[in-house]
Structure 1
Amino acid sequence: MNHHAPLSPAAELHANVSVPFERAFAMPKSVYTSPEFLALEQSHVFAQDWLCAGRAESLPDPGDYLTMEIAGEPVVVLRDRDGAIRAMSNVCRHRMSTLLQGRGKVRAITCPYHAWTYNLDGSLRGAPAMTLNEGFCKEALGLPAIRCAVWQGWIMVTLNPEAPAPAEALAEVTDLIAPFDMTGYRETFRESFRWATNWKVLAENFMESYHLPMCHAGTIGGASKLEEMVCPTGGAGFNYHWILKNDSVPLALAHPSNTTLEGDDRRKTWLLAIYPSLLITLTPGYFWYLSLTPDGPGHVQVLFGGGMSEDWLADPAAEAHLASVRALLDDVNVEDKGCTEKVYRGLCSGLAQPGPLSHLERPNFEFAQYLARRIPA
């Protein structure tokens, strides 16, 4: 019997998190590069947990919709006639074509194949040339509903009927950032892109600010100091850290008219990683976020958006401030794309070995622990 059979990627991950944080190493290469491990993530993580479809205010009116894919399942999220946000299967009940694409606004959902038409609540409204078929029962052919909740202004969707509601699972996050109250922020821009890296490399890049001075030397690297960074212990469903910003970006500070934020909170930037794949940067003036969908081991689809707090939105100079923040973020994204794509290329090499983590990478270790809790060895 061969005692030296290589461990499976899942077994390697479990071994990786079996040590105390002070002795922790980066996750094994196979966890990023193996299609077998990605299949486990799709079934145990993406098909089980809450994923973010964006901000509720991005669907302001009845009929406004967006589409997403969860673990290979096409999903449509829309605002219905009653003004509620709901999610449902984006697949026709006839010959199973997908229905809607991208984003937009509809009065009803019409299949592009045979024109079966569904109401905004998912019920079948009409189907041409079906009257002679005795097996056709319109009432039984609605689009299956998918769980959807709005938490702190974020649209959260899950395929798992048993998952605890976000308000319950993320109650600690709500308490942490209570003075900021994300519900009042408004999204002002949004785009999608696809990068040549594993989704976890990008998630982990967000979770630590150890890379800021080097990777972001041309942009935000100088706005915070490594010795001032704090990485507290996170929760079961999230990790976080924060940075105190100087005044080089006015929008990162509380608006002069803001009376609720006090002391350091007026210049605090929160970095919240909501497992598995919602990454939020929250400042007193603006926010930006990434919502990640794996596309094979070596690519990630990214929903990227951001906006401003209510008091900054009301400021006459807000647009100019936001334009400068937006330009800055675009430059930061270029830097992050370069760094995360280099990491994935390195992960695929034969001589690469994971190295020890810095004390500033506690969130990365907690993320590995979360994945190990979800994925059986």
Structure 2
Amino acid sequence: MTIHDPAAELRANVATPFEAARAMPISVYTSETFLALEQEHVFAKSWLCAGRADALKAPGDYLTMEIAGEPIIVLRDRQGTLRAMSNVCRHRMSILLEGRGTVRTIICPYHAWTYNLDGSLRGAPAMELNESFCKEASGLPAIRCVDWKGWIMVTLDPDLPEPGETLREMDDLVGYLPMQDYVEVFREEHRWNTNWKILAENFMESYHLPMCHGGTIGGAVDLKKMTCPEGFPGFNFHHILKDDSVALSIAHRDNTTLEGDDRYRTWLISVYPSLMITLTPGYFWYLCLTPDGPGHVKILYGGGLHPDFASDPEAPAHFEALKTLLDAVNDEDRGCTERVWKGMQARHAKPGALSHLERPNYEFARWIAGRMPG
């Protein structure tokens, strides 16, 4: 019987130069063993996005997430500081909070142990007779959390360099667009029947646009005019120029800062491993991906407006039309990526050669391979 080593198969795959590259091996998507390696060596050792910082506006506003199976709370404390901490009670290990909301204190739903917004233990009923109990030593463990350009970034790795260091090239690339000032308008959660990398790769390349998005945006795409530059160690990217057919795609009419093509340029940025950003002079939308077994992915899907449009009284009507388009495009992507997952289960499935327009996929594969042990 042949025993497959998905990590070894991936290393062999990316050892081929890009000019002769093929898609990643099927085992990299379908193997439970490889997913376990990803959780340990990719997700547990990376900065992951929990959404936009302006989603947590007031003290006590919180959201929850998981990193490699680790439950986490992200919130604003009473001083307005962004914090992340364990979402597991220090008593009998119940999950504390779920979803999103606002709290004055964090109260365990099991035995009512109560925590302050800084994670310190505030009260524990009926514990006065236990001599081993120490209130000061029973706070929720802190987890690293930073606001990077308006994105909430969280990591389990205490030694990982800050996002501003690992993604420093972003300033030269898109620094003229103030990501930190864009205003979130919607935030949703979805779950698709595909591998997380299939969806990530789908975002990274626009080769699929004419066919997959034939019912929406595909007709405006000319593959002959498309290029995919080399990416950077922490992210890959490509960009396209849009016309004014979507009102929010281009710079606001009153914007005097942006000039030339920068008024029309849309950036598609993939921050490794799992933050996908579409950034335009008028709006942005994003995906944050969390694997849920080899064959499912949890998706945080959100978007919003450039500050010029956020204050424009006509913007809500334009954004309503834009959101309808984004949802339709997302539905098309779901169909395409779920068909890829289904096709991978076939006995005749075999990775094919990559187009020159799929350079980001190759770079993504090399990045993942570089984090595998062995």
Does the TM-score normalized on the shorter chain lie above 0.5? yes
1:258 maps to amino acid:
N
Q: Tell me how far 1:5 sits from its aligned partner.
A: 4.5
Aligned to 1:277: 274
What 5-or-longer segments of structure 2 have no aligned partner? none
Q: Tell me how far 1:175 sits from its aligned partner.
A: 2.1
Aligned to 2:136: 139
Q: Tell me how far 1:6 sits from its aligned partner.
A: 4.3
Deviations 1:19-72 (A, max 9, x none): 110000000000000000000000000000000000000000000000001000
| 2: CA distance, partners of 1:155 / 1:76 | 12
Aligned to 2:318: 321
Aligned to 2:214: 217
Deviations 1:117-161 (A, max 9, x none): 000000000000011111111000000000001101000000000
Aligned to 1:292: 289
Runs of 4 or more consecutive aligned structure 1 residues displaced over 2 Å after TM superposition: 4-7
Q: Tell me how far 1:230 sits from its aligned partner.
A: 2.0
| 1: CA distance, partners of 2:305 / 2:219 | 23
* Maintained 8 Å contact 1:67/1:76: yes
TM-score (normalised: structure 1): 0.98
Aligned to 2:68: 71
Aligned to 2:162: 165
1:28 maps to amino acid:
P
The answer to which of 222-231 and 329-338 deviates more is 222-231
SS at match of 1:247: coil
Deviations 1:236-285 (A, max 9, x none): 11000001112211100001111111111111000000000000000000
Aligned to 1:342: 339
TM-score (normalised: structure 2): 0.99
1:85 maps to amino acid:
L
Aligned to 2:83: 86
Deviations 1:88-132 (A, max 9, x none): 000000000000000000000000000000000000000000111
Matches within 5 A, 1:1-377: 5-377=2-374
SS at match of 1:281: strand
Q: Tell me how far 1:369 sits from its aligned partner.
A: 0.3
SS at match of 1:374: coil
* Maintained 8 Å contact 1:224/1:245: no
| 1: CA distance, partners of 2:220 / 2:135 | 60
1:29 maps to amino acid:
I
Deviations 1:285-327 (A, max 9, x none): 0000000000000000000000000001111210011001100
| 1: CA distance, partners of 2:147 / 2:225 | 34
SS at match of 1:38: helix
| 2: CA distance, partners of 1:160 / 1:47 | 7
SS at match of 1:241: strand
| 1: CA distance, partners of 2:365 / 2:234 | 12
2:146 maps to amino acid:
A
| 1: CA distance, partners of 2:76 / 2:227 | 39
SS at match of 2:365: helix
* Maintained 8 Å contact 1:13/1:372: yes
SS at match of 2:161: coil
| 2: CA distance, partners of 1:43 / 1:244 | 39
SS at match of 1:183: helix
